[in-house]
């Protein structure tokens, strides 16, 4: 386990890279449990660019009662999936906002090959826009399984434990509240396997698309948070130079 000093050095390395690189659009990929959300937040701080999550966009449009949100709400009320075309429109509207000028972290989009082609075409039509680069955070399958199935939550203070990696002092009970810990219904091996199958099926064509274009790379996600973030920063810099 690297010392705090080495982690600080890694983050400083990331900041040095930041000053030399305009990040542009970055597609952050990762299987369930790799810490993609955590890394997205780190990159937002490092580069001062927004994270664009399709889930957040959908919820935001519904909450604000936009025309897109009303349409999406009606579709979901019928128990149907929101179509790619509607998600594309939400993303297009978000990319017009001024905070996206230097770049942004894409989370959950493009999820399909069709969405990837749509996004590439849209960015290509903008004279000053950089193309998307895709970075995938890689963690061993068994390690991911332990991260997911080992999670336990305190129902009172919401503290998250892991029976394998960060167990409570007293087995089955929260260190802070003393409440009995609970396991989420979807934190089981069966559900995890299904989520992994769905992830592979959806993202494989997207990964291959950007790999063929020379705009895809992988980083080791089994490291301290700061080191992973620094690795993503240096990977983006390398991909930008190659592009």
Region of 108 (left: φ > 0; alpha: ψ -120 to 50; beta: rest) is left
Q: Which of 41, 73, 102, 111 is catalytic?
A: 111
Q: Which of 15, 45, 184, 197 is catalytic?
A: 184
Dihedral sign (CA 160, 163, 167, 169):
positive
Q: Which of 41, 102, 122, 195 is catalytic?
A: 195
Residues with Cβ < 8 Å from 100, sequence gap 6 or more? 49, 50, 52, 94
Q: Which of 36, 147, 152, 215 is catalytic?
A: 36
Q: Tokens at residue 38, please?
A: 């955590």
Q: What is the C-alpha to C-alpha distance for residues 231 and 97, in angstroms, rounded to an integer?
A: 28
The reply to whether 111 belongs to the active site is yes
The count of residues in the chain is 243
The reply to whether 151 belongs to the active site is yes
Q: Which of 151, 152, 215, 240 is catalytic?
A: 151
Q: Which residues have a catalytic role annotated?
A: 36, 111, 151, 184, 195
């Amino acid at each position: 386990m690297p010392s705090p000093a080495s982690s600080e050095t890694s983050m400083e390395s990331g900041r040095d890279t930041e000053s030399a690189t305009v990040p542009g659009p970055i597609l952050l990929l990762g299987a369930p449990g790799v810490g993609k959300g955590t890394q997205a937040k780190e990159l937002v701080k490092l580069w001062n660019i927004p994270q664009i999550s399709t889930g957040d966009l959908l919820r935001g449009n519904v909450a604000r009662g936009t025309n897109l949100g009303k349409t999406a709400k009606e579709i979901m009320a019928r128990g149907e999936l929101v179509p790619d075309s509607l998600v594309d429109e939400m993303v297009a509207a978000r990319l017009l906002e001024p905070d996206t000028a230097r770049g942004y972290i894409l989370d959950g989009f493009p999820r399909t090959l069709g969405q990837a082609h749509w996004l590439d075409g849209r960015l290509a039509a903008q004279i000053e826009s950089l193309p998307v680069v895709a970075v995938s955070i890689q963690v061993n399958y068994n390690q991911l399984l332990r991260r997911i199935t080992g999670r336990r939550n305190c129902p009172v203070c919401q503290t998250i434990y892991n029976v394998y990696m960060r167990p409570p002092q007293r087995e089955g009970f929260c260190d802070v509240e003393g409440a009995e810990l609970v396991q989420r219904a979807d934190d089981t091996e069966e559900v995890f396997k299904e989520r992994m199958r769905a992830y592979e099926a959806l993202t494989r064509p997207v990964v291959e698309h950007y790999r063929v274009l020379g705009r895809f790379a992988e980083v080791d996600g089994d490291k301290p948070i700061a080191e992973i973030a620094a690795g993503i920063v240096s990977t983006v810099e390398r991909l930008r130079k190659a592009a």
